[in-house]
Structure 1
Amino acid sequence: MSEDSSALRDMLNARGAGHLPGHLGVVIETATAEEVAGFLDVRQELMAPNGFLHAASVIGLVDTLCGYGTVANLPEGASGFTTIELKANYLGTARDGRLRGVATPVHRGRTTHVWDARAFRDSDGKTVALFRCTQMILWPSAG
């Protein structure tokens, strides 16, 4: 996809509306083929019953960023992608404020992409999680 970054950002934000990224409150701030960055505001609905940010909320942010990075890099003729593997290492949490994330590509091939992301607190930059995922590129079926 060869859109300028503001057009790509706007398209990705619109794409998330009415879907999980929109419900989580994920906002894409910058989007290029080389990096996707965004945030979500920590709120009660994203917390685990123990009062800490739910692990799935963090995954929702960083997996969205990586997926959107894959969208920005789909090979010509591909019909889409799907996540086939993900891993997260949690190093902290957030109880309020804003959680930010940045995703960057490690590998962008014809059949798979691998993306790394870091989720961190806006208030102090402390890393909450490190994330890696593998995306399988989907192709239209022949006949």
Structure 2
Amino acid sequence: MNPADAMPFSKLMGVTVTAGSAQGVEGEITVREDLCTAGGIMHGGAIMAFADALGAVGAVTCLPEGAKGTTTIESKTNFLGAAPVGTLVKGRSVPLKTGRRMSVWQTTIDTADGKPVAVVIQTQLVL
């Protein structure tokens, strides 16, 4: 099962998790017209939501015993380049810090041919 399918919005977007462990999560999404802004370029919100999904999957892999889940409490994005309609976009999220109460994840997003799209750092609160 695709772990992103547990999050209805990520499933709607078409996020696919291709690898995942406490050391990192990888995923991909194909840029569709309905994920774009004017000019056929992937919308910044879609980029952020893609990164958030990967970081959340990673955070869940690191949950301490007895935790019920996680929720994003902070996210910061640097947009580095465009991803046009039809582009396969890949992301890799790695933990910067994991703990009992929260974890911090950094996600790099690139096109399939290696052009940078964004870097996202998010903080996940343990519930």
| TM-score, length-scaled by structure 2 | 0.94
Query: Which secondary structure does the structure 2 equivalent of 1:22 belong to?
Result: helix
Superposed displacement of residue 14, structure 1: 3.9
Q: Do residues 15 (structure 1) and 2 (structure 2) align?
A: no
Which string of whole-angstrom CA distances, capped at 9 and with x for unpartnered residues, describes residues 84-105 of structure 1?
1000000001103201100000
Aligned match of 1:112: 102
Superposed displacement of residue 11, structure 1: 5.4
Tell me, in whole angstroms, the C-alpha distance in 1 between the residues paired with 2:44 and 2:98: 27
- Bigger Rg over Cα: 1
- 8 Å CA contact 2:16, 2:27 repeated in 1: yes
RMSD: 1.1
Name the count of aligned residue pairs.
126
The unaligned stretches of length 5 or more in structure 1 are 1-9, 139-143
Aligned match of 1:132: 121
The unaligned stretches of length 5 or more in structure 2 are none
Which protein has the bigger strand share? 2
For residues 1-143 of structure 1, the aligned pairs below 5 Å read 10=1, 12-16=3-7, 19-95=8-84, 96-122=86-112, 124-138=113-127
Tell me, in whole angstroms, the C-alpha distance in 1 between the residues paired with 2:87 and 2:27: 14
Tell me, in whole angstroms, the C-alpha distance in 2 between the residues paired with 1:35 and 1:51: 30
User: What is the identity, as a one-letter code, of the residue corresponding to 1:22?
Assistant: K
User: What is the identity, as a one-letter code, of the residue corresponding to 1:91?
Assistant: L
User: What is the identity, as a one-letter code, of the residue corresponding to 1:110?
Assistant: R
Identity %: 34
Tell me, in whole angstroms, the C-alpha distance in 1 between the residues paired with 2:124 and 2:6: 18
Tell me, in whole angstroms, the C-alpha distance in 1 between the residues paired with 2:40 and 2:5: 31
Tell me, in whole angstroms, the C-alpha distance in 2 between the residues paired with 1:42 and 1:51: 9
Change (3 A) 1:14 1:54: closer
